A and B are shown apart, each in its own frame.
Chain A
Amino acid sequence: MNHAVLTVEALSHVYPNGFQALKDLNFQVRQGEFVALIGQNGAGKTTLAKHFNGLLRPSSGRIRIYGKETRGQKVSSLARTVGFVFQNPDHQIFHDTVAKEAAFGPRNLGFEEPEVKNRVKAALQAVGLEKRAEDSPQGLSRGERQRLALASVLAMETEIIVLDEPTTGQDQTEALEMMDLLGELNRKGHTILFITHDMALVARYAQRVLVLCEGTLLLDGSVDTVFAQPDVLSRTLVEPPQIIQLASRLGLQHILTPEDLVAELLPRRVAL
């Protein structure tokens, strides 16, 4: 098993108004994992994710990144290791051109201009915005701004990438392209943790699912085992994807995609 890159120990978070959003969380994420974080509105997903790059600090308990406690580390230094894409792209976009926005991260990390340029070019290309480099982010649609937010993080090439609902407002083609891109980064060794409400994407891409409910960890397991427990999931207002519901009505297990179900129903083609 790979080593832990992210360790959450007895983590609790209480907001200034006294609301406790996270309650004694304990888990580890290992190098190269592709993890989905799901759960109902207000479950604590964003609150948890913001602890990984120091935007929020534990009220009690601790977070370790590569074994080192985040306490005492600045957001700017954590940003070298953990890239974070916000739930609302407009909370992170503040430059007047697409290229400047994407250059901000690598520039801040202290890279030389030629390297910054290369990274910006590659990142914008990866999200299909290379032709919009000189445009203002205001002239982009919401989905395009979301991809710009991702490009800014890609340009930093951090080992851990945390994404808060990256495919919200994306059409299906864009969502799949974005997830494919994350899959590619994952195969290169990046550890990916993404928050989503799209269970079909979870089934198709994630290796492991963390399910939050009112600040506690309700389930932690493979896609297969998590989606086999609809009654538990319903406590946090999540349902298995439709195809898994259909398969289970037919008494079939281990089906994750529509293609899986067709393959299961059609007579096996016998190779001659």
Chain B
Amino acid sequence: MIEQTALMDIENLIFYYPQGQRPALNDVSFRVREGEFIGICGPAGAGKTTLSLCLNGIIPHAQAGRMAGSVSLRGVLLKEYTLPALSETIGYVFQDPETQMVSLTVEEEIAFGLENAGAAPSLIKERIREAVDAVGIDQLQNRSLKSLSGGQKQRVALASVLAMRPQVLVLDEPASELDPVGSRDFFQLLLQFNKALGMTIIIFEQKVDQLAPYLDRLLVLHEGCIAAAGRPNQVLADERVSGWGIRIPQVAEFAHVLAREAHFRLSEVPLTVEEGLSLIRQWKGKRL
């Protein structure tokens, strides 16, 4: 087995917005290994967007505030890179898809990043086709961005970043406006990119219920601190986590209620319908 090396290192990160009385991030440390698929969840205002901006360098390069601690990529501090250099390695999806849109049509928007990076027209064409197919907007290629529904816009934002094939992908609630099957398909697609291309993925998400089964590791951000971390089955077994307003899978919620009512302890919770069925079988077997 190949040793997984640390790709990014986040150490004792603290961040205050200019007017902020409380730190938005309060001593956050973790490591991202090459090829990992990490989910980070947390209640509203926990600091998800802030942390995501520290991972792509917008903090401290372009957002005012006081920062302590460090974020490094392959051993070099992010503040030592320029933003354009960082953006070649680290792709980023904004929480509001409209923030990142610069073009008139869907096709122009997806081509924009590739053209800027100097990609050949044939490659651009190929990548656009792959990206629109992957996120299910192949019918919309020539439409103006203004004429799209909310979820369709979000799909364009996702296609634009995927077309760039960055080595590291940071996404801030990328599936918030996708329909139920659309968000599940998108998480599966990320897993595919992760497995096939070794893309390292760090996704900030409220839809933990749908995302959890695909993750190597889940971190929980709470009041600016990492409050829990580990395999999703274990992290979501911690009852504090649902108390913090994390949207856990309904079968996990079910497992918590069942364990409470039937007086048994859970060290892991089921995440999928199949895992839910096997928990019920186990529980019935022991009870009978």
> Do A and B come together as binding partners?
yes
Interface residue A173 (Cβ < 8 Å from any Cβ of B): yes
Tell me whether B63 is interfacial, beta carbon within 8 Å. Answer: no
Complexed CA–CA distance, A121 and B99 (Å): 31
* A171–B251 CA distance with the chains assembled, in angstroms: 18
The answer on a CB contact under 8 Å between B181 and A237 is yes
Task: Count how many chain A residues have C-beta atoms less than 8 Å from C-beta atoms of the other chain.
Answer: 46
**What is the CA–CA distance of A243 and B254 in the complex, to the nearest angstrom?**
8
Per-residue 0/1 for A28-72: is the Cβ within 8 Å of any B Cβ (1 yes, 0 no)? Answer: 000000000001111000100000000000000000000000000
Contact for B147 among A17, A169, A259, CB less than 8 A = A17
The residues in B between 39 and 64 inclusive whose CB is less than 8 angstroms from any CB of A are 42-45, 49
Tell me the smallest distance from the CB of A268 to a CB of chain B, in Å.
12
- Chain B contact residues: helix, strand, loop or mixed: helix
- B148, B178, B179, B247: the one contacting A171 at CB < 8 Å is B247
Bound-complex Cα distance A90 to B95 (A): 13
Q: Interface code B196-221, partner A: CB below 8 Å = 1, 0 otherwise?
A: 00000000001001000000000000
When C-beta atoms are compared, the residue in chain B nearest to A238 turns out to be B180
Distance from A44 Cβ to chain B, minimum over Cβ atoms (Å) = 8
A243→B148 CA distance, assembly (Å): 32
Q: Give chain B nearest CB distance to A36 CB in angstroms.
A: 13
Which chain A residues in 176-234 approach chain B with CB under 8 Å? Answer: 197, 199-200, 234
Given contacts A88-B98, A242-B209, contact A168 B177 (CB under 8 A): yes
**Chain A CB within 8 A of B149 CB:** yes
Residues of B within 8 A of A199 (CB): 180
**How far, in angstroms, from A100 to B213 measured CA to CA in the complex?**
44
Binds B, one of A75-83, A109-117, A152-160, A245-253: A245-253
Tell me, yes or no, whether B19 is within 8 Å of chain A by CB: yes
How far does the alpha carbon of A46 sit from the alpha carbon of B153 in the complex, in Å? 13
Could you tell me the distance in whole angstroms from the C-beta of B125 to the nearest C-beta in chain A? 24
Complex Cα distance, B279 from A250, in Å, reads 12
Inter-chain CA distance A169–B144, complex, in Å, is 25
Which residue on A lies nearest to B254, using beta carbons? A258
B147 x A258 contact (CB < 8 A) = no
Tell yes or no: A15 within 8 A of B by CB.
yes
Contacts of B253 in A (CB 8 A): 243, 258
Interface residues of A in 128-146 (CB under 8 A from B): 139, 141-144
Q: Are A242 and B273 interface neighbours, CB within 8 A?
A: yes
Counting chain B CB atoms within 10 Å of each CB, the highest count among A139, A144, A234, A242 belongs to A242
For the complex, is B230 an interface residue (Cβ under 8 Å from A)? no
Tell me whether B180 and A15 are in contact (CB under 8 A). Answer: no
Q: Are A40 and B44 in contact (CB under 8 A)?
A: no
Query: Contact at B149–A139, with CB atoms within 8 Å?
Result: no
Please give, as numbers and ranges, the residues of chain B lying within 8 Å of A245 by CB-CB distance.
273
CB distance from B243 to the nearest CB of A (A): 9
For the complex, is B113 an interface residue (Cβ under 8 Å from A)? Answer: no
Closest chain B residue to A203 by CB distance? Answer: B250
Complex contact B247–A172 (CB within 8 A): yes
Q: Is the CB of B251 within 8 A of A243?
A: yes
Q: CB-CB < 8 A to B257: which residues of A?
A: 258-259, 262
A 4-33 contacts with B by CB, 8 A:
15, 17, 19
Chain A residue contacts of B249, Cβ below 8 A:
242
Contact between chains at A171 and B254 (CB < 8 Å):
no
Residue picked from A15, A46, A239, A261, most chain B C-beta under 10 Å: A261
Whether B181 and A238, one on each chain, are in contact in the complex, defined by CB atoms closer than 8 angstroms, is yes
In the assembled complex, which residues on chain B have CB atoms less than 8 Å from the CB atom of A17? 143-144, 147
With CB as the reference atom, state the residue of chain A lying closest to B17.
Answer: A139
Per-position contact with A for B125-156: 1 when CB-CB < 8 Å, else 0? 00000000000000000011001111110110
Chain B residues near A144 (CB, 8 Å)?
A: 44-45
Residues on B with C-beta less than 8 A from A266 are 258, 261-262
Contact yes or no, B273 A39, CB < 8 A: no
Chain A residues with CB below 8 A from B181, complex form? 40, 234, 237-239
Q: Does B23 contact A (CB under 8 A)?
A: no
B251 touches A246 (CB 8 A): yes
- Fill in one digit per residue for B20-33: 1 if any A CB lies within 8 Å of its CB, else 0: 00000000000000
Find chain A residues with CB under 8 A from B251 CB.
242-243, 246, 258
> What are 28 residue pairs bridging A and B, where the CB atoms are less than 8 Å apart in the complex?
A17-B147, A19-B147, A40-B151, A41-B152, A41-B177, A41-B178, A42-B148, A88-B98, A90-B98, A142-B49, A142-B96, A168-B177, A169-B173, A170-B206, A171-B247, A172-B206, A173-B43, A173-B244, A173-B245, A174-B44, A197-B177, A239-B184, A242-B251, A242-B276, A246-B250, A249-B273, A261-B254, A262-B254
> A-B pairs with the 7 shortest C-beta distances?
A41-B151, A173-B245, A143-B44, A258-B254, A237-B181, A171-B245, A171-B43
Q: Which residues of A contact B (CB under 8 A)?
A: 15, 17, 19, 39-42, 46, 87-88, 90, 139, 141-144, 165, 168-175, 197, 199-200, 234, 236-239, 241-243, 245-246, 249-250, 258-259, 261-262, 265-266
